[in-house]
Amino acid sequence: MKFFLTGGTGFVGSALTKHLLQQGHEVTILSRRPPKHPEPAAVRLVQGDPTAPGPWQHQVPEHDVVINLAGASIFVRWTPENKKIIRDSRVLTTKNLVAALAQAPSRQTRLLLSTSAIGYYGDRGEAELTEDDPPGHDFLARVAQEWEDAALAAQDLGIRTIVTRFGIVLGRGGGILANLVPLFKGFVGGPLGSGRQWFSWIDQSDQWRAFLFVLEHPELSGVINFTAPNPVRNAELAKALAEVLHRPSFLPTPAFLVKLVLGEFADVVLGGQKVLPKRLLEAGFTFAYPTIGASLRHQLGETG
């Protein structure tokens, strides 16, 4: 099949592209600028800004599957300018993708897989959350609602649409582990704040396997949580990471210091969600790395 990806050169997109190519699929990646590292020869690059209409939109309907992974990092200080970038990179990109499909006189696209995030739920304390639960009310929750609404508009075009709410992705060479591992190796890692906040995550290998799973199950549509079945508290994450890296995790970072450094974004780090992958499990998906220890050993190795 022919796949069109936004965000295809990022942490998640690069891994997914690799596995799509291994299965013999054709991959087209939309990129604002030439990638820093050469893409495989089998990858076709289309240059364009996904937050703005442009010639790139003519390419979209020619693909069987559109996967929307675009989104600026939230791991920044939330200035008004950065908030706008975070929102626009998600919402405008998704609206432009759906507009490209709607305006095409003919199209072969049968499936839109569009990213969202568990930030949709907001900070929900001890509540166990599934796809049936309502959204929160903070900045990320509002962005996620707009993001998802923009994607689900594709259903009105007769296109099967799946919104994948990502937990925190654990993978080698990027994501949150790229930030945490150096701290623990430097003997300054530990829980953040109280350490009791819930941390919902997914191993990167299970993430791309879940993509392929929903692709192969045409009965699935709508919102699906991409999270492991065993969320952990922040302190449990710190303990498991310390064990894999053979480092201590006794140095908690006080909440006031996190807020001082991160500003409003600190509320995301100090809060959390206990999110369960209800629909994936009901559909029969099996996680290869269902526990935090198994995932960290897989990604970092016994010695890190």
Q: CATH code at 156?
A: 3.40.50.720
DSSP state of 134: P
Give Cβ neighbours of residue 70 (< 8 Å, ≥ 6 apart). Answer: 6, 7, 30, 50, 89, 90, 93, 94, 115
303 CB-near residues (< 8 Å, 6+ apart): 245, 246
Q: Which two tokens stand for residue 175?
A: 């994501």
Residue 243 has pLDDT above 60, yes or no: yes
Is residue 11 one of the residues assigned to a domain? yes
Q: What is the mean pLDDT of residues 19-39?
A: 84
Q: How many domains is the chain built from?
A: 1
283-294 mean pLDDT: 98
pLDDT in tens, 207-228: 999 999 999 999 999 999 999 9
Q: How far is CA 233 from the centre of its chain?
A: 19
Q: pLDDT value at position 276?
A: 98
Q: Is residue 40 part of a domain?
A: yes
**pLDDT, position 96:** 98
Does 71 reside within a domain?
Answer: yes
106 is in which domain, residue-wise? 2-169+201-227
**The pLDDT of residue 304 is above 50:** no
Range in 116-125, 130-139, 255-264 with the lowest mean pLDDT: 255-264
What is the predicted pLDDT for the residue at 184? 87
In a domain, 193, yes or no: no
Q: Is residue 157 part of a domain?
A: yes
Question: Is residue 252 in a domain?
Answer: no
Contacts of 138 (CB under 8 A, 6+ apart): 119, 122, 123, 267
Would the pLDDT of 27 be above 80?
A: yes
What distance lies between CA 203 and its chain's CA centroid? 11
pTM across the whole model: 0.93
What is the b/e burial string over 232-244, where b = at least 16 CB atoms within 10 angstroms of the residue's CB?
Answer: bbbbbbbbbbbeb
Q: Is residue 112 part of a domain?
A: yes
**Within a domain: 189:** no
In angstroms, the Cα distances linking 204 to 30, 88, 139, 181, 263 are 22, 25, 26, 16, 28
Return the CA Rg of the chain: 19
